[in-house]
Structure 1
Amino acid sequence: MKLSKLEKFFEVEKVVFHSLDLALYNVSAIVEGEEHMITDEKGERLKSHNLLSLQKKLQHVRTNNQVIRQSSAYDEMIGGPVKTNNEMEVPLGDNKLY
């Protein structure tokens, strides 16, 4: 979903910053129960090494629920059983530091 379209919704249920690798983040949003990856006007996923720059791009999206979501390869790295889902979500505030 394009960022310009996301900004038109009255309220977005949740904005999710996905922590990918070495401080690389991309963004999805849950709207009407469905999760959508957020893109720019060219269709490229929003991504950055700077979380604050992504929050700035999303400053016009109306939501009270922002989280960082991260999956861990820890179980696999130590030889433990593979878990079906080991995602962790941490609430994130927008303090307008940008």
Structure 2
Amino acid sequence: MNFHRAAHLNHQDVRIDELTIHSFEMGVYLAEADYDGRKSFLVDEDNKPQQFQSIEQVKLALHRCTIYKAYLVHQSAYDEMCGGAEKVDNTLKVPLFVPGVS
């Protein structure tokens, strides 16, 4: 099983191709990093997905490495209305600004 830890990635020589921050209800964020050809979620010391309380907290956890692309992703549950149309993909993917990367 592939996994990454923020402490292992947060070094100046680390280059993350893509960072995806998944937003969930109740202010929970999970970070998924594509590093060294492996795309996986950041995990804590117990190998469980590391939860963050804000995007800023994710940025602080990875402030020393280089991130080429970063996105915030959110899927809404509000399309599950009674009598509504069939469920469609309502994923919102917003690019995030990463300082120092063009």
TM-score, L = length of structure 1 = 0.75
More strand by share: 2
Aligned positions of 1:1-98 closer than 5 A: 1-7=4-10, 10-32=14-36, 34-77=38-81, 79-83=84-88, 85-94=89-98
How many residues are aligned here? 94
| Structure 2 CA distance for partners of 1:94 and 1:51, relative to 1, 3 Å | same
| Structure 2 CA distance for partners of 1:25 and 1:11, relative to 1, 3 Å | same
Alpha carbons 2:18, 2:68 under 8 Å: kept: yes
Q: Give unmatched runs, 5+ long, in structure 1.
A: none
Q: CA RMSD in A?
A: 2.3
Of structures 1 and 2, the larger Rg is shown by: 2
More helix by share: 1
Deviation at 1:23, TM superposition (A): 2.1
